[in-house]
Structure 1
Amino acid sequence: MAITYKPQTRDRTNEIIKALAPYPKFDLVPLRLEYAFDDSWWRSITTTDQDRSQLTIELGKDGLYTEALRHGPSCDLSPVDALRTYLASLPTQTAISSAIRILVRLLLLYTARSRRASHLLLGMSLTTLSISLISCISQGGGHSMREEFQEEWYHGIPATTENADAIRVVRPLRDVTMKECSMFAWWNSIHVVGRNGQIRATAGIPGLTKGTAWAAVVELHDLASLQISLSVWKKIIRRLFPRLLVLVQNWNLKVLL
């Protein structure tokens, strides 16, 4: 699924279609962020009016402003204008980032349910989860993350054993850093559709903590990789170049070997 936010970003739908052309077994389902404010879209994928109210409930859980959503279909605004109006009503850049994250999540979940999917795979990497954790702590949410637990969703309510249509949310890249994802894509010649940087994305708490979290994750990952690499090279050098090992030790570089 591809989600775009039209008011501030360039439409990359055609680029995504070209990127998926070599993979005919994948079906592209374009989603736009303004669909969350489009009553016709909700009617096309849901069967009850309660599903539409789930948008207000989820936004209210994070303490976000929802008064602008209570006008319902009586408002004459288009979905795009309604999205812009709602985002403009939020007090901070952090609130805007949180609202967009929730909207994207709901669009994905309801679309997955409409296609009778049993699992929803999200591309959150270890780096993304680290940023989310630091952001949660900085906002007073504690150091517990729902991404760490097995997550199931059923029409906006917690799933039970009786719910046969529950959607399980899976994060297959949770133990892989963004750097490793980039290397895998480059090594396998996978074209990745990029996106333009936005002031909104860097002004909020998640954006401000991204640099710190990224540096910490990369540093720890590089340190672990360095220790493994040095251990391997140490064995190779000892077997193939014993004299070189003695020479290196005489240069006071024993710490590297």
Structure 2
Amino acid sequence: MDLTTHQTHEFTGDTVICNLDPKRAAKMIGEELFSKTVRRKLNYEYSASNYMVYCVVKDIDLRDYGFGKWNTFHSEHLDLNEAFAQMYEQNDFSRPSFAITTPTLLTEARGDCPEDCQIVEFLTVANYSYFKQLWESDRKAYRQKKQGILDSILDVVEKHYVPNFRKHMVFHVTGSPTTNERFCWCPNGNSYGSSLTPRNMGVDRLNHETSLNNFYFCNASSGYPGFAPTFWTGALLYQRLSGDAILG
């Protein structure tokens, strides 16, 4: 359905590849149509969700501050388990641990980014249930929490990496677990599909097979998350369907 015009369109094909979340797709189609084996594999937990910020800075070169074609990880804790628990379980971001990436420094392609600007992204873990409750009960508190996390991150950035970072920041947009759910259709705002726990791993992990004729999954939860595994998962399915051997 087109969400702007409310018109529906029907598409047909000899083969259907579904890149939606498999569990969500199965519920839309009707879980009872899948075999017991597939339904058992669809009973997975989701990975943790996240909080992210996309920023644009102007009249500054982040390479002068040690950034480049790599990611930077900062933690205010020596114990990463403690850092995770503080942010994810206690919703306390006063001492944030987060990743920093600079997309405009990863490639020579500028896209729509002006020559005198650069993009920087901050990413950390966040609890879906907590943000969902805020979103539904108190939008003001929800926005204040997002702003508070941003301020905590920027305080660290200005202290350890780029003094006066805020003065160069000409645009920013924040996203929470509920943002992931609304805009990316990620159930529970998950970051990487199913949680990579022992129960969800191994030979019994969901793959592209669905038990429906000519219908295949191709998603992090039916493969593995991350850039390289995403390519690998898609290539495996292509190879299976086409007979064209492209993987060594």
After TM superposition, the score normalised by the length of structure 2 is 0.23
Between the two structures, name the one with larger relative contact order (CA 8 Å, sep ≥ 6): 2
After TM superposition, the score normalised by the length of structure 1 is 0.23
Task: Tell which structure's C-alpha radius of gyration is larger.
Answer: 1
Larger helix proportion, structure 1 or 2? 1
Larger strand proportion, structure 1 or 2? 2
